[in-house]
Amino acid sequence: MDFYTKLLAAIERNDSLLCIGLDPDPDYLPSRYASRENPVLAFNRYIIEVTADLACAYKPNIAFYEALGPRGLEILQHTIEAIPSNIPVILDAKRGDIGSTARAYAKAAFEVLKADAVTLNPYLGYDSLAPFLAYEGKGLFILCHTSNPGARDFQTCLIEGKPLYLKVAEWATRLSRNIGLVVGATYPEAIRAVREAAPNAWLLIPGIGAQKGDLKAALEAGFNGQGSGVIVNVSRSIIYADDPRKAAEDFRKRINEIRKVGRLKSPLLPSKHRLILELYDAHCVRFGQFTLASGKVSPIYIDLRLLASLPGLLKKVASAYIEMLRPLKLDLIAAVPYAALPIGTAVALEMNIPLIYPRKEAKTYGTARKIEGLYQEGQQVAVLDDLITTGESKLKAIHLLEEAGLVVKDVVVLIDREQGGREYLERRGYRVHSFIGLGEMLDVLVKHSRISPAEKDRILSALSQT
């Protein structure tokens, strides 16, 4: 069973988003354990025994075991063995090192200690995470915005117009669906920003209890719209409480009260805004200096060809097209090669409507067709493309379709670059439907700290000159 399958099962079974940190300090153990042969292990077993039906996960911090000397890792291993097999174990190790060392760390975490997940430091980049990613089904929680006061020293520094911790969130969650993010409850505004940047990621939230994080603010910022998507870690306030079970029950109850309200709330972002951010995060929207098919030089490049390799995002984009197509009267859809072909296929499958496409190049072999697919003269067809700039490429495709006796009234695109293409086609009698305008896209990217206001102004200024 992989980490997230085990986690979801434990959440449902125990009705809990509470993760209990097993961070034993011999100086704080109850006096009754002093006479035990192995006081730390006996203490840990007691905590697990009285809270196993209240937790969705346990998180031992490896530092507390290393501090015990040669026996420490043995105690950690026995502690993990004492945790019921249907409750996941997150090893809090915050590892991050070069490839060969990372491989040893990964082996220790997953093969020796048999943890289900581990916390990692992304500072050394991808190759420091790759050995952990190689363990299929294991959970990786990347340090994003930590709960300590010093988090502001580096994590909020601006990189290309956005805080470093958001760059980490965007980068890390593109690597694997098994990656979650660590965001401290002491910074609820950071949790909200991370949730917007990574709407589908699981967030591990420390800082509740002894660090005085605001539970309500943290959860409201971190929930994914269905009252889930977060794991709340509490350590000292439970394990050192006079009655650890009661403390765990109280935390679970408080979390669930907030969670119940969270389930009733609408998703965090409007669907259009979420799609814009996901397109940006997937590098379908890039900034720099690019030459377009029209020959114009542009400060922004929109590449929806990448969607063919991103089936989840392709499905969301197809849903946007379907929303625009449903009110239209049509018999067929015609996708303009090449970016619109995978989009058109996804739309055709979902709507159960035939797809054709006008060829970009003349075919000199076989049937020598200019239009691929089955169609009849007089059928009404909507033209699909990824975006519209000048409208010239759309007009070429329309002329091929009309020469074949098809009727074209509507052109449907995801993005209007707002550079005159809509007006160009509408003057020729065609209706243009777009889901996102470039100005709106830039506004959303600024609002959610993907680009700076100055960068937006620079882009608009450059576009006005082309």
Helices and strands (H and E) in the chain: how many: 19, 18
- Cβ burial 241-261 (10 Å sphere, 16+ → b, else e): beebbebbbbbbebbeebbee
**Six-digit token string for 151:** 């988090």
**Token pair recorded at residue 194:** 């991370």
Collapsed DSSP state (helix, strand, coil) of residue 382? strand
What is the structure's pLDDT at 52?
Answer: 97
In the chain, CATH 3.40.50.2020 covers: 271-464
Cα–Cα distance, 301 to 280 (Å, whole number): 11
Q: Give the pLDDT of residue 267.
A: 45
Q: Is 403 exposed, middle or buried (0-12, 13-18, 19+ CB in 10 A)?
A: exposed
In DSSP notation, 319-337 reads HHHHHHHTTS--SEEEEPT
pLDDT at res. 224: 81
Residue-wise pLDDT for 56-102, tens only, equals 999 999 999 999 999 999 999 999 999 999 999 999 999 999 989 99
State the sign of the Cα–Cα–Cα–Cα dihedral 69, 75, 77, 80: negative
Instruction: Look over the chain and give the mean of its residue pLDDT values, rounded to a whole number.
Output: 91
Q: What is the C-alpha separation between 414 and 419, in angstroms, rounded? A: 15
For CATH 3.20.20.70, the residue range(s) in the chain are 3-263
pLDDT in tens, 372-417: 999 999 999 999 999 999 999 999 999 999 999 999 999 999 999 9
Residue among 234, 329, 219, 210 nearest 20 (CA): 234
| C-beta separation of 3 from 116 below 8 A | yes
CB atoms within 10 A of CB 18: 26
Judged by phi (left if over 0) then psi (alpha if -120 to 50, else beta), residue 352 lies in: left
The domain 271-464 is classified under which CATH number: 3.40.190.10, 3.40.50.2020, 2.60.40.10, 3.90.480.20?
3.40.50.2020
Was domain 3-263 assigned CATH 3.60.130.10? no
Q: What pLDDT is attached to residue 294?
A: 67
**How far is Cα 104 from Cα 107, in angstroms, rounded to an integer?**
5
Would you give per-residue pLDDT tens digits along the chain (466 residues)? 789 889 999 999 999 999 999 999 999 999 999 888 899 999 999 999 999 999 999 999 999 999 999 999 999 999 999 999 999 999 999 999 998 999 999 999 999 999 999 999 999 999 999 999 999 999 999 999 999 999 989 999 988 777 999 999 999 998 888 899 999 999 998 999 999 888 889 999 999 877 888 899 999 899 886 678 999 999 999 999 999 999 999 999 999 999 887 654 544 456 788 899 889 877 899 988 888 776 778 999 999 999 998 888 899 899 999 999 998 999 999 999 989 999 999 999 999 999 999 987 766 666 668 899 999 999 999 999 999 999 999 999 999 999 999 999 999 999 999 999 999 999 999 999 999 999 999 999 888 777 888 889 999 998 887 6
3-state SS assignment for residue 16: coil
Active site amino acids = 94
Residue 108 gets which letter from DSSP?
I
- State residue 289's pLDDT score: 87
**pLDDT of res. 209:** 76
User: Cα–chain-centroid distance for residue 206?
Assistant: 20
